[in-house]
Structure 1
Amino acid sequence: MAATLLTTDRITISDHIVDEARDTPPLTKASLVLRTDDGAEITLPRDLQKVLLGALTSIANDGEVTIGRMPEELTSTVAADLLGVSRPTLMKWVHDDEIASFKVGTHTRFQRDEVLRVRDLRAKQRRAAFDELRSLDEAHEELFDD
């Protein structure tokens, strides 16, 4: 058996499954469908498809995947880690109204969806900056030596 169910929460992935994941072509604009024994097809909800396709990609790239449930309310330390910034930087963003937060007693907390929204926004901004840099590089290719 290639994947072993250790408990209801843990699956061990063999090298064979990692190889199969690597051999699977990248799935863009794919739709995951379950086929029952009687031939009926059930299309999985879009968010579940994203999770499963992300797991497949992670297995192919890293040979492992961890799936966990993230709480709706995050501490500043967890939020900073998710955003890839220091806690002081995150708190500066709070002060500058760049990210929404709320207080629980004296502690600053963040809504999971807000943190993920900011993370996605920052990723889009980085991609746009990179694309701009590439187009600038291509426009002035003659200035750079190889």
Structure 2
Amino acid sequence: MAISVLPKALPPEELRSFLEELIPGRVLRLGAASLTLTPELAKALRQLFELLLKGEPVRVVSLEAELTTQQAAELLGVSRPYLIRLLEEGKIPYHKVGSHRRVKVQDLLAYREAAKKRGQALLDELVRESQELSLGY
């Protein structure tokens, strides 16, 4: 299940006002229903509203959700053929439903985080080498 939220649908002043009230321990009330904000829920809602204030569209997806290869490629910002190559090389776990591949969101996010760390490590190494060689970068 996925929920999409577009920032234009919500007035920024209302978002800012709500953000100020997102404090763990506070109680959210909707009519007769109430919910105490845990630190995790307050943090998640804060991240959501901050992105919306920046004008970024947001999609909330369960970590257990299974995506098609096209959806997975879009989430990673890569082409579908490149994603399929990553799947076939075993770099991202997947399973088949009939003849169709399905990928869990949590596996995609884990891959993206690992790729980001590898990229940062390479960048750090290049900076170190350029400093050792006095290249002036």
Range of TM-score over shorter length: 0.5 to 0.7
Confirm whether residue 44 of structure 1 aligns to residue 57 of structure 2. Answer: no
Q: CA RMSD in A?
A: 3.3
TM-score of the aligned structures, taking structure 2 as reference length: 0.65
1:99 maps to 92
Deviations 1:20-51 (A, max 9, x none): 59xx9xxxxxx941335xxxxx55142x3442
2:136 maps to 144
The answer (yes or no) to whether the contact 2:72–2:103 under 8 Å persists in 1 is yes
TM-score of the aligned structures, taking structure 1 as reference length: 0.62
Q: Residue type of the partner of 2:60?
A: G
Q: Share of identical aligned residues, percent? A: 29
Secondary structure in structure 1 of the residue aligned to 2:102:
strand
How many equivalent residue pairs?
120
Confirm whether residue 132 of structure 1 aligns to residue 125 of structure 2. Answer: yes
Confirm whether residue 33 of structure 1 aligns to residue 24 of structure 2. Answer: yes
Supply the distance in 2 between the matched residues of 1:63 and 1:79 (Cα, whole angstroms): 23
Supply the distance in 2 between the matched residues of 1:84 and 1:67 (Cα, whole angstroms): 15
2:61 maps to 69
Q: Which has the higher contact order (CA 8 A, sep 6+)?
A: 2
Query: Please, which runs of 5 or more residues in structure 1 have no aligned partner?
Result: 1-8, 25-30, 37-41
